Amino acid sequence: MAVLRFPEGESADFSQGEVYFIGNATTVIRFGGITILTDPAFLHKGDHVDLGHGMWARREVEPACQVGDLPPIDLVILSHYHGDHFDDVAARELDKDLPIISTADAVGKLRPIGFPHGYPLDTWESQLVEKGEARLQITAMPAKHATDDAIAALLMPVNGHMLEFSRGDQHLYRVYITGDTMLNDRLKDIPRFYSDIDLGLIHAGGTTFLITLVTMTGEQAVRAVKITRPRTAIPIHYNDFSVFMSGLDDFKKAAAKSSAATQFYYLDHGETYTFRPEG
């Protein structure tokens, strides 16, 4: 595994980190001096994205910020190459030299539009990142964009991701990002290998494609939390586009009834969740 190394910046803060929610699946995760942008989508409310196969979606909620408002970004983590996860604004305005960790399909499609530094991961493969004392191991998690195999074949392959932050050899914090997945049996493998997930960023929304669900409803997303068992779970990807049919209220209702030993936390666009490693 080749190591992706960044020059050390200003003194890194290992006492706490943060997740800033921009909208849809777009977040900025900062910890230990490493700054990560996930699934960059910055189209304005009312704009449309092409989802392929003649399908379009209208953005219903304004993102909390634009590319020019972002802090310096070290790398991008991309679930898959769909217009609501990497849009025309991102393609036009993001730094073309940014490393992008995603599926082989996405890396192959990003290269012709000017993003040559792609790092493809298959399920359970990892990429190590180092910046000063900070180490980040990113591992692709199982994900499936549709339960119907015929529909899944029409859609792009998708990854979830596990982010493991360390200071040297000292493990500090673990973040699981589901990606655009439906419930499937492979999710049950995740807690077998990762029994102590600190934070889960859970893609919900009940996205419909050709009348078929291709992301989890609120109720299904809470079931995914119960399967993967993060200590804290934050739903994202729940109301930004016209193809979403299961909003945040559905997630909240299911969470209120759930027996999952997880604390649920909710972010509006533009809000920040601050986390602290135990000990």
Q: Residue 10: its pLDDT value, please?
A: 75
Give the C-alpha separation, 218 to 221, whole Å: 5
Contacts of 153 (CB under 8 A, 6+ apart): none
Note whether residue 29 is domain-resident.
yes
Percent of the chain as helix, strand, coil, to the nearest 5: 20, 35, 45
Q: What confidence score (pLDDT) does residue 55 get? A: 78
Is 274 inside any structural domain?
no
pLDDT, position 207? 83
Specify if 131 maps to a domain.
yes
**Residue ranges, the chain, pLDDT below 70:** 1, 53, 148-154, 210-211, 279
198 in a structural domain = yes
Structural domain of 206: 17-261
Q: What are phi and psi of 81, to 5 degrees?
A: -100, 80
200: Cβ contacts below 8 Å, ≥ 6 apart: 175, 176, 177, 178, 225, 228, 230, 232, 233, 234, 262
Q: Is residue 5 part of a domain?
A: no
- CA of residue 195 relative to chain centroid, distance: 20
Residue 52 φ/ψ region, left for φ over 0, alpha for ψ in the -120 to 50 degree band, beta for the rest: left
Q: What does the pLDDT read at residue 59?
A: 97
Residue at 3 is within a domain: no
What pTM does this model have? Answer: 0.96
Tell me how far apart the alpha carbons of residues 208 and 2 are, in angstroms, rounded to a whole number.
38
pLDDT of residue 201: 98
CA distance 19 to 76: 14
Q: Which two tokens stand for residue 172?
A: 């500090």
10 falls within a domain: no
Q: What pLDDT was estimated at residue 146?
A: 73
Quick one: 144 exposed, middle or buried, by C-beta within 10 A (0-12, 13-18, 19+)? buried
- pLDDT value of residue 83: 92
Q: Does some domain include residue 50?
A: yes
> How many domains is the chain partitioned into structurally?
1
Q: Beta strands of 59-198 (E only): which ranges?
A: 75-77, 100-102, 118-120, 126-131, 134-141, 160-167, 170-177
The domain that holds 156 is classified in CATH as 3.60.15.10
Q: Are residues 43 and 87 in contact, defined by beta-carbon separation less than 8 angstroms? A: yes
